[in-house]
Structure 1
Amino acid sequence: MNAQLREKIITVCNKKIAQKGPNVGLSFYAFFANKNDDPQSLMEAATWWIQTHQLDHFVKAQKIKEMIVEGL
């Protein structure tokens, strides 16, 4: 996953955790606008989420953040 997308995911996770607490869940769609303005990054995130790690649709933001920071 490219560095820019990793930074974006960490930023979104931090924001959601700050707003809703440490148990907030999110899907990979949370990292993108409602319109598909960056299909390449969307597919990269979807592949990481679904194929690589076989995550459920909603996962705790804290877990996603930890995975990204650890380089998984």
Structure 2
Amino acid sequence: MISVCDAKIASKGPNVGLSFYAFFANKNDTPILLMEAATWWIRTHNLDHFEKAVKIKALVENER
């Protein structure tokens, strides 16, 4: 997740937003993992559909 956030920030700047779909090349390949990401995003952190990549990166880093 951190590398995806870093790539988005590098290409589009610090205000770039993304959704949990950004972490999946094909949203249908790993439905269980997609649901885990959605649960983390929505239930655990109560995030909106689009959030700033820097915010997501900080959340992931703080959970390590």
Q: When the two structures are superposed, what TM-score results if normalisation uses the length of structure 1?
A: 0.83
**Residues 49 and 15 of structure 1: is their aligned pair in 2 closer, same or farther, counting only changes over 3 Å?**
same
Q: Which runs of 5+ in 2 are unaligned?
A: none
3-state DSSP of counterpart to 1:62: helix
Structure 1 residues 1-72: aligned runs within 5 Å: 9-71=1-63
Number of residue pairs matched by the alignment: 64
Q: Which runs of 5+ in 1 are unaligned?
A: 1-8
Q: Percent identity?
A: 70
Deviation for aligned residue 1:64: 0.1
Cα offsets for 1:16-50 (capped at 9, x unmatched): 00000000000000111234101121111000001
Q: When the two structures are superposed, what TM-score results if normalisation uses the length of structure 2?
A: 0.93
